[in-house]
Chain A
Amino acid sequence: MSVVLAFADGTLEVHGLSPSDAAPAECRWDARSACHRAPALAYADVVLELRRRKIAYEDRARAYVELEPKLALERAARPFQREALDEFRRAGGRGVVVLPTGAGKSHVGVLAIDDRRRSALVVVPTLDLVRQWYDLLRTTFATEVGIVGGGSHELKPLTVTTYDSAYLHMAHFGARFGLVVFDECHHLPGATYELAAELCLAPFRLGLTATPERPDGREARLTRLIGPVVYRRDIIELAGEYLSEYEAVHVSIELSAEERAEYEEQRKVYLDFVRAQGIRFSQPNGWNDFLMRASRTPAGLRALAAYRRQRELALAAGKKLEYVELLLERHRRDRTLIFTEDNATAYAVSRRFLVPVITHQTKVRERSEILERFSRGDYGVVATSKVLNEGVDVPEANVAIVISGSGSVREHVQRLGRVLRRREGKQAVLYELVAAKTGEAYTSERRRAHSAYQ
């Protein structure tokens, strides 16, 4: 009996070898199904090993097809994009390319799809990016493009999906793509999302990101899930020539007297509890420890409520919105993106300044319309919480106002990246509004620990 390879729910079944036969690397004997089994990720290695050992096999696993050759829309690649593709090829079609936001990572993805010419799946973190990649692939390859996510489930040789949908559905369609492009691939090495890569059979894999580093250090997993970092360029290497010149302005905002009094009062309640309990936030589990202890007693619940209130006072200080008003007057003819940490503030901004807002609650059709009108100039301002942090291409935007955010360096760099896409004569500016003498000042220091802000 010859060896038969089959794709089964995100794994590779190797039939025809007995339990005692030397199976290819990564394969294990599975008594449940009386065959050897490997993660689908190992498909390429298994095939190469069978060939090397001259073992005849029938491949019923691979279900991907070759794409029609040739791009319909040729766009000249910048030198660094061509270099990135060359390094990807040299690594056997597996690797991560690190380029700053606005430098044209998506074009590297398009070049890789054209180069490999296998049915390809593009995995992205948000529905806005699904829409953007859908438009890009459709115009570049002049073919129908499938979408899985946001209520759609249509598979085509070129398909775009979200990390959430890839995690949910890769076990079903993971054999249908020869190349998978993980956009913003720093999302991949989480405990759940990385299964999307494990359950996919694609022998060719490309990761695209501006910031592969993760606070949990799991970026090392990218080597197994995609491949090694094969090419890297930083913002400061490309600013001016390929990215817009920019200025980052840090604005310290004083709380009002009433806000300050309440802030100090609430912060004391919160910190007194933390000290009394001996909770140390310098410990890796400090925050979880606080949450656990806070949920056990009435005093803890009061401390948790006080923590939330003092944070809210700092993040949405009244004077921040007054300052936003000044900035919107100053930049009345520019294209401005306003970022907030939470949805409530984003909607408050929308109501106060009568500007459109995009949050996770905004339906895809309205998101598209808002971004289109923003590109055309019908709208001069768009407010958002986190959903526009990454990837979304708004080249006309030249002003970013960060009202509030997390301590994440990546988030802050990504927000700056929204206004960096180069246009002739464009000078970008990012305003970061920080409540003075509050916990937010420390958060701001942490998120600016990047060369882009030095």
Chain B
Amino acid sequence: MLSPDHVRVRRQGNELKLLALGGELRERAVELARSARELACEHVGRTREELEDAWATLEIAPRERKLLLGLKKLVEDACDFEAGDADEAASLRRELFLNATARRREDEGKFERARVLAEVAAARGTSPEAVESMLYADLRGAQRLLACHAPAAELLVESYERAQVQAVLLRAVRVVAEVRCAGGDAYRALFQKLKFRRLMHRVEALEDGGYRIEIDGPFSLFQSVAKYGLELALVLPALEACASLRLAAEVRWSNGGRPLTFRYEHAAASSGGEPARPRDEVSGLVADVAALGGGWTASLAERLLDVPGAGVCAPDVVLRRVSDGAEVLVEVLGYWSRSAVWRRVELAQRGLGARLLFVVSSRLRVSEEVLDETEEAALYVYKGHINARGVLRQAEALCADVRR
């Protein structure tokens, strides 16, 4: 990961903007990436310090300094280094320094450095020069470069551009993301990531069908702190996995400086990625309901149900009754996690504000009765494959319950 020191930005009013790498500068970036990579490949077998000295000879204009720093970091991250034998070096130091201490105390005249080195070298059957060179062979600068796996220069520059966004977020105190996902799976993955990173959120539905998610940490209620910057940066890939993302981050770019806004947009399709496809059992349920041709239609859900303090539910399918338009949302929990079922039960008991049907495999050993007392939610437990008729039967029952 790059750090904020590697990022090329400019301030414009209250906004922080990444500087585009276009035209001649892009060509220059590729040239620098090629040089940094070639020098690393040429230095295989030599020390990290020698590689850094070689990189320091690359002549750059002031405006290219951060670009080169970032590219070097990416090349360095793709290198394997071997550390010297720390125990051996420490043992040599001990022997040498003990001998030197004794000599300094015993000899009344001037301390004879060469004599101490010669004595220790003789005891080890080596030369004084070898003793000197091995003395700090375990330090970082003395690590030996074994291999360089950095990609081609053009790819390095592309990686640099992508990594800059994450590096900016390291200084973020709060992120507001407007996202639209193709289905419940993508939303669930996103909120699982937020939970894993111990971040907090506020969710608001947008008119176009997407969601506005404000993300920060527990302490952000009292003070804008950059403590959650690393977590916010690590959430970026999950946000980018949404079909579309529009992000605005509040960043503290300099110590004591005023907060700045950083904006970033990303679409899975435009970056060559494809929106995540629904799981087979979800698309199978939609197809089966359609095949029944009865009083219900089914479509993929793009809806989130947020219960502050309890969690978020991201249904997979919307069932709509043709006769009156009544809706039942379906989340297919399958057979993976029993604890996930209990979390949904708790959510339903807190009140989700919509009719919810959780579809669960019998392998999770959960009974449909656990939600009997809850008007707006129900469980449908299936054996083997999901039976669309059974799902619709439960949906009908839910609608009847609510009407009662």
Q: Given known contacts A328-B111, A354-B97, is B65 in contact with A33 (CB within 8 Å)?
A: no
Q: Given known contacts A10-B218, A37-B221, A328-B111, is B62 in contact with A298 (CB within 8 Å)?
A: yes
Partner of A351 from B110, B135, B200, B222 at Cβ < 8 Å: B135
Interface residues of A in 187-217 (CB under 8 A from B): 191-192, 195, 198-199
Cβ-closest chain A residue relative to B200: A32
Contacts of B343 in A (CB 8 A): none
- Taking a contact as CB atoms under 8 Å apart, the answer to whether A31 and B101 are in contact is no
B336 on the A face (CB < 8 A): no
Contacts of A35 in B (CB 8 A): 309
A167–B98 Cα distance when bound, in Å, is 39
Partner of A354 from B116, B198, B219 at Cβ < 8 Å: B116
* 15 examples of A-B residue contacts, CB within 8 angstroms: A8-B218, A11-B218, A32-B201, A32-B202, A33-B309, A195-B219, A198-B222, A298-B61, A354-B116, A355-B97, A355-B101, A361-B139, A363-B86, A379-B101, A381-B104
Q: Given known contacts A296-B62, A351-B135, is B98 in contact with A378 (CB within 8 Å)?
A: yes
Contacts of B222 in A (CB 8 A): 28, 39, 198
Interface residues of B in 33-54 (CB under 8 A from A): none
Contacts of A39 in B (CB 8 A): 219, 222
- Taking a contact as CB atoms under 8 Å apart, the answer to whether A329 and B135 are in contact is no
Partner of A33 from B93, B132, B227, B308 at Cβ < 8 Å: B308
Partner of B308 from A34, A347, A363, A366 at Cβ < 8 Å: A34
Which A residues are closer than 8 A to B by beta carbons? 8-11, 28, 30-35, 37, 39, 167, 171, 191-192, 195, 198-199, 295-298, 300-301, 325, 328-329, 332-333, 347, 351-356, 361, 363, 366, 369, 373, 378-381
- Taking a contact as CB atoms under 8 Å apart, the answer to whether B62 and A199 are in contact is no
A423–B250 Cα distance when bound, in Å, is 56
- Taking a contact as CB atoms under 8 Å apart, the answer to whether A9 and B198 are in contact is yes
- Taking a contact as CB atoms under 8 Å apart, the answer to whether B111 and A9 are in contact is no
- Taking a contact as CB atoms under 8 Å apart, the answer to whether B105 and A28 are in contact is no
A352–B105 Cα distance when bound, in Å, is 17
Cβ-closest chain B residue relative to A32: B200
- Taking a contact as CB atoms under 8 Å apart, the answer to whether B101 and A353 are in contact is no
A270–B68 Cα distance when bound, in Å, is 24
- Taking a contact as CB atoms under 8 Å apart, the answer to whether A198 and B101 are in contact is no
A396–B98 Cα distance when bound, in Å, is 18
The total of interchain contacts (Cβ-Cβ below 8 angstroms) comes to: 99
- Taking a contact as CB atoms under 8 Å apart, the answer to whether A34 and B97 are in contact is no
Cβ-closest chain B residue relative to A37: B221
Contacts of B223 in A (CB 8 A): 198
A360–B163 Cα distance when bound, in Å, is 29
B90 on the A face (CB < 8 A): yes
Partner of B62 from A192, A300, A333 at Cβ < 8 Å: A300
A92–B201 Cα distance when bound, in Å, is 38
Residue of A30, A32, A300, A355 with most chain B CB atoms under a 10 A cut-off: A32
Contacts of A171 in B (CB 8 A): 198, 218-219
Q: Given known contacts A298-B62, A369-B94, is B219 in contact with A10 (CB within 8 Å)?
A: yes
A379–B94 Cα distance when bound, in Å, is 10
B382 on the A face (CB < 8 A): no
A7–B117 Cα distance when bound, in Å, is 59
Interface size class of B (residues with CB under 8 A): 35 or more
Cβ contacts B185-224/A at 8 Å (1 or 0 each): 0000000000000101110000000000000011101110
- Across chains A and B, which 5 residue pairs bring their CB atoms closest together, nearest first? A354-B100, A34-B309, A34-B308, A33-B309, A11-B218
- Taking a contact as CB atoms under 8 Å apart, the answer to whether B101 and A380 are in contact is yes
B113 on the A face (CB < 8 A): yes
Contacts of B132 in A (CB 8 A): 351
A301–B65 Cα distance when bound, in Å, is 10
A30–B97 Cα distance when bound, in Å, is 60
Q: Given known contacts A35-B309, A379-B98, is B110 in contact with A329 (CB within 8 Å)?
A: yes
B255 on the A face (CB < 8 A): yes
Contacts of B277 in A (CB 8 A): none
Contacts of B218 in A (CB 8 A): 8-11, 37, 171
Q: Given known contacts A9-B218, A11-B218, A332-B105, is B90 in contact with A366 (CB within 8 Å)?
A: yes
B389 on the A face (CB < 8 A): no
- Taking a contact as CB atoms under 8 Å apart, the answer to whether B221 and A30 are in contact is yes
A356–B201 Cα distance when bound, in Å, is 52
Q: Given known contacts A8-B218, A9-B198, A195-B227, is B136 in contact with A347 (CB within 8 Å)?
A: yes
- Taking a contact as CB atoms under 8 Å apart, the answer to whether B93 and A356 are in contact is yes
- Taking a contact as CB atoms under 8 Å apart, the answer to whether B219 and A199 are in contact is yes
Cβ-closest chain B residue relative to A298: B62
A298–B62 Cα distance when bound, in Å, is 6
Q: Given known contacts A10-B219, A37-B218, A379-B98, is B201 in contact with A297 (CB within 8 Å)?
A: no
Partner of A198 from B136, B140, B219, B255 at Cβ < 8 Å: B219
Contacts of A192 in B (CB 8 A): 226-227
**How far is the CB of A358 from the nearest CB of chain B, in Å?**
12
Cβ-closest chain A residue relative to B116: A354
A366–B378 Cα distance when bound, in Å, is 63
Interface residues of B in 242-273 (CB under 8 A from A): 255
Partner of A28 from B101, B110, B221, B227 at Cβ < 8 Å: B221
